[in-house]
Amino acid sequence: MINQYLELEKTINSWSFLANKIYVPHTEIEYNHLVNLLDELIDEVGENENHPLASLMEIIAILIENYENEYIPELD
């Protein structure tokens, strides 16, 4: 039980630093922030699936895709 608490504490401390950078976007400004972040991650990670930030890049891409599906109309 103590180990689980320690891991949660580490997660809380890490998330406190990341929460203002990684989030579900609800505005165009937040969406644009994530697009810029994804661009930086693509520059860093490229196609290296073993890069430590590869899963973060995938998460950011999913957040962007969800926003686009909800708020940006498809072109006919």
Report pLDDT digits (tens) over 35-65: 999 999 999 999 999 999 999 999 999 999 9
pLDDT for res 8: 86
């498809």: which residue's tokens?
Answer: 74
Mean pLDDT value of segment 12-38? 94
Q: What separation in angstroms does the CA of 27 have from each of 1, 3, 7, 48, 54?
A: 39, 38, 32, 31, 25
3-class DSSP assignment, residue 47: coil
User: Cβ(72)–Cβ(65) under 8 Å?
Assistant: no
40 vs 9, more confident: 40
